[in-house]
Amino acid sequence: MKPMFALGFFALALLAAPAFAEDAKAGVKWVETYEKALETAKAEKKRVFIEFTATW
């Protein structure tokens, strides 16, 4: 039963791959200002990811 499950999972992954490929082609659109990011996120009803770093 396990080999059949693995084969089914692999087949499903191959069928779903084109759907995820379209998102990957779009890429990440970075925004330089916090205000613009919030404005865009509200308009698209999405969350905001904030990344910051520091060298201490």
Asked, for residue 51, whether it belongs to a domain, the answer is: no
Asked, for residue 56, whether it belongs to a domain, the answer is: no
Asked, for residue 49, whether it belongs to a domain, the answer is: no
Asked, for residue 37, whether it belongs to a domain, the answer is: yes
Amino acid at 27: G
DSSP letter for 32, please: S
Higher pLDDT: 19 or 52? It is 52
Question: Please, which pLDDT band fits residue 52 given cuts at 50, 70 and 90?
Answer: confident
User: Which range of residues forms the domain containing residue 35?
Assistant: 2-44
Q: What is the pLDDT of residues 2-50, one digit of tens each?
A: 677 777 777 777 776 666 665 555 667 778 888 999 999 999 998 888 8
Asked, for residue 7, whether it belongs to a domain, the answer is: yes
Asked, for residue 53, whether it belongs to a domain, the answer is: no
Q: Residue 26: what pLDDT?
A: 64
Structurally, the chain folds into a number of domains equal to: 1
Alpha helices by DSSP H, 1-56? 2-26, 34-44
Asked, for residue 21, whether it belongs to a domain, the answer is: yes
